[in-house]
Structures are given as C-alpha cells and as structure tokens.
Structure 1
Amino acid sequence: MRRSRIPSVASPTPPSWAGAPIERGRARGDRFGGAPHSRDRTPQEQLVMRPHLLPAVAAALAASILAHAATAQGRNLYLEEGKRRYAQGRFEQAIEELEQALRLPGLPPEQRVEILAWLGAAHHALGHEEEAREVWEQRVRLAPDLPLPGGISEAAVAAYKEVEASTVVLEHLTPPAAFAGRPLQLFASLQDPKGRVAEVLVYWRRAGAPTYAVVPGRREGDTWVAEIPLPPLAGRVDHYEVEYYLEAVSKDGEILDAAGSAERPIRITAVAPAGPPVTASEESGVEALGAAVAVDAGEREAVRTRGRRSPEPRAGLPPWVWVVGGVLVVGATAGILYASGRPSVPSTSLGVVTYP
C-alpha cells in the first residue's frame, strides 16, 4: 500500500538574524534592542520580533485547523470526499483522500473500519491486489464478520470475501498479574479459516536484555497456551519488567499475524508472590479458567492494540473521581497539619508534601 508523507516545513533564518548575539543587561522583556518596557512581551509580540518562526507557526496552525475542520461534528470530511471520488470512478484521488482520513488524530474505531473498506475497494478497482489485500486484512482483524458497506462494487465485495476467508486473526489479552519465580501463562485465541497456522511462538525477555528467548505454544482446542518461566527476584529487587510478543507462523515460517512485536513488545510487571507456591491442581484450574475466557466484539479494538491495557476503574465511579478525590484528601491533610504548626506531611502513596 502506498504511503505518502506529509512534507515538513522548514523555517530559514534571515541573514540579518543569523548568529546575532543576545545582549545582556537590558530592561525586562527587551532582549531585542528596543526601548525598555513596563511589561513582558505578549506571545504575539514575541512572534513579531522573531519573523523566522512565522512560517512554522503558520503551518502548524493550518494543520490544526484542517484537522478540526475535517472532523467537524463527528464527521470525517476526508472519508466523505473519498467515498464521493470512488463513486465518480476517480480512484487515485479517492485513495489520496482516504489515506489522509487515516492520518487524522483521535480517529474513532468505527471510522477506521469504514475507511479501510473504501480504501481497499479503491485499490482493487485500480488492480492493486496486494495493497487491497493488506488494507482489507487490517479491517478483518478489527471487525471480523462485518460486511463491506453499500456502494462498493460487486467485484470488490467478492474479493473481500476471499480475503476474509483466509485471514488469520490472533487475539491475546495481557494477564492481570505476573509473579516472579512462577510460570506466567499466556492464552491466545486464533481464527484460522484455512488452517494455515503451524504454531504460535512467544518471544520474551526481561526488560533491558539484549535478546528474546522463544517459547512454543501448545494448542488446546481453539486456544493456544504458552508458559514463560519467570526468574525469581534477586537481592533487594521487589519487581522487574517483562517484555513479550506472540506470532502465528505458517509451515514455511511466514508470520501470519502477531500480538506485539520485537520493537513494540507487550509489557507486564513481575512482583513477589503473595502466597505459597501454586499447587498442580490450582495451576490446572487457572489454566481451564483462562481457556474459557471469550473475547466479545466490544473488546476487539482493545485486543488489536497489541496487549496494552488501561487500569480497571473502580465499580460505579469513573477513574477521574478517584484521582481528584485522592488529591483533595492529600490537600486537606496538608492544610490541617500546616495549621497545627507541623512542618511537613508524612509520606503517602502520592508522595511527600513539604512546606517552605
């Protein structure tokens, strides 16, 4: 798939400004040789005094305005224009608009899925079979079993169904915890319509190690299971980071899908075990529980972020309530202690608060 780059804007320095020293000892806010001022220069005045910055600032402002305009009222104008160009048979221009739509920041998942549908169709119309397959495979992994939207040619729909029937989808959820000195069990579900996957491999290392070790997974029905032999804690270390990623590989060694990568691995913290070693019966129970976990459609987007997880919110209240509440508690405690003449607040989970 062609990927166009957004050109960067250079801001040349005028010769009269190049290498000019800044004089010292002038009045506050007057670093450029003007008369003393009674106030600091505003940002607008500082830009006027630095004309070489204006092109870069103007370009950044224009990009921001275009991005906001393109997503006005939740609409993606690039997507709409790309669909219009596709309907007109102007497929090259449709690709340009749709690729620009993919670059917009904060793109909702449902819009990404729709853009990929039209982008693959435009590539297919031009005979770009490899690009169309690459784009459509991304869509299948984001939204399995979701048909193409109306308005796309019947030939493109038939080609998409072929891609859908052969695309391998590897889904993995990061375990909730890892304990040093105990095996870390990883579970992955696999959609392999044509049986192309020969094995699932797990590559792992302790954060900072130069290379990854590899652990083969074992198939248990539609689930693949692998165990990472986490080393125990040493000395005064109370935790360490583990990095890993998974690959679904064909008989020929082709990577058909992956969760994480060597450059962007999934990370998890290994801590000291909270209790006695896990018995064999308990371990098999955990394994059965993990194998029974199903990923519903609402979790698919999180899965495709390659194992990244957000802290789970407390039941009944959004996460920001707990953050604000914690800050207010620390602030109230600090005020009480300050009023009582104590010079500092003891250390808490949010840090140490001291007073001048």
Structure 2
Amino acid sequence: MRSVWHRLAAPIAIAAACHAVVLASAPAPALAQGGGQKASASTLIQRGSELFDDAQYEESIQTLSAALLRPGTSKAEKIEVYRLLAYNYITLKRTEEADAAVRGLLVLDETFTLPATESPRFRDFFKATREKWESEGKPGRETVAVVEKPIRIMHSSPAQVQPGTLIKLTGRVEDPDGRVRGVQLAYRAGAEGKFVLVNASFTLGEFRAQIPSESVKPPLVEYYLQAVDKGGLPLGSRGDAATPLRIAVPAPQKGGVLTSPWFWVPVGLAVVGGGVAAGFIIANQNKTSTVTVTVRE
C-alpha cells in the first residue's frame, strides 16, 4: 500500500491544486455591457473621417453614427457628421440615406455650402438635394427649436452562451414623438472587424432580431442596436460601434490535467479552512483504500 501511495502522491496533489485554481478563478456571470469608456464625439468624427479616406465606408458610417448620438455633441460636430455620412452614402450609391444626411445638415445650417475644391460628385448631389429641400418648404426647420423627447431602447440579453448558439434578441423602443421607423442590429464575432448590419423586425414599438449561430464563436460576440428614422439615420442606440454590448462565448476545454484519464477517478472535493481537501479512492489489486490530501495556502 505504501508503494502505491508514493506513486500517486504527486499527481493527487496536483489534481487537488488544480481544483482549487478552478474554483478560485471561475468568473461570475456578467450582464452584457459596453466594451470600454465612451470615446468623445470629436474622436469618433476623426476616426470616421480616416475610415472614409481608407475606403472603409461601412465602418466609417458605423463610427459616425455613434458620434451623432453622443450626448453633448455640438452643432458644428453634428454638421461634420452629416457631411461625412453623406459622402459615404454617395460613394456607396445609397441615395436615400445620402439625401437624408444632407437634409439633416441643412436643417442645422441652411447656409452651408461645400468648397469649390470639393469633388463635383459631392457638390452636385448637395446642390440637387438643397434645391429639392427648398422647393418642399425646407421641412425640418420648423422643429429645430423644439426640444425632442429622448428615444430609449429597452433591451436585455444573456451574459453568456455556448458556441454555435442562435442568439435571439428582443426589446422595445420608447419613442414619444413617433420618429422611429425601424431598428437595426449590428453584430460581429470577436472584438475586431466590421459589424454586419441587418434590419430587425419592428412592429408597434417592439423589435426582434437574431445573431446567427455561425457568428457565435469564442471568446465573445459584440453587437449594438440602433433606432433609425425614415431616412435611415440613427435616432437612438443601445451600445454603438465604439462601445458595443458583449456576450461571452466560452471555449470548450481541451487537453491538460482535466482530460487525463486518472484525473477522473471518483473525487470528493470540499473547501476547508482556506485549503482544499480531496478524497481519492485508489484501487490496488483486490484492496480499496481511501487517501485524503489537504492542500493549504
């Protein structure tokens, strides 16, 4: 019996210590939350401009949309956001959104004009939109002085899901002035790369959307939701491209001591007085003995 104990003492002690580490380091579930401190509107505008210059138009739009919704964004900053959004939409030939961006700019500053050095493609589009906006009586100008009620997206999601899980997201939008025309979901696997933007189902103030299972990979999924107006411009959001919501996706455990065949002998484990006591049943020929190992800090 003594020889058996000497052969197994080391691995048993390691196993007990591993159990202690697992218990001590297991993270508590956390609610989905943003990925960090919110960047200022000016920082996001600069980043959005750089992305446009690098021909990363979708990423630029997502970043600029986040800037537009930042609390405390100045009038001048909003004008710059609308200008850059219009440039992106014009480049992508998304004329409806480009028209809405130019109109949003003109509502804030109807005297705005692009410099003569700007691309004729942008100048011609701005001019055509201005003429149409003026012929319609400058819609939107009458509401500039009106304090619009805030839009809130009410939503919660699981803190953690298993890889390959279809994530169903639901919620509702509080929209006192009735300006919201739709809800969009942007998601990506991991913390880098472009967000995939899809339209959520939106009826009577409630929305439903899904993150497909093939995008749910360790270590996490990032996403955000935004309410948009009839022109597709954001009015409110839950998270954004700079500070998205997160859902943890744990990786399956592979290899190591936890998969060792001898490790999975029947084990009784308890935390005792700051240490870990593990009881192992050891079979030696026709005899069965119980060995207790105590590992203390």
Q: TM-score range by the shorter chain?
A: 0.3 to 0.5
Higher fraction of strand:
2
Q: Relative contact order, CA 8 A, sep 6+: which one is greater?
A: 2
- Could you state the TM-score of these two structures normalised by the residue count of structure 1? 0.30
Given the two structures, how large is their TM-score scaled by the length of structure 2? 0.35
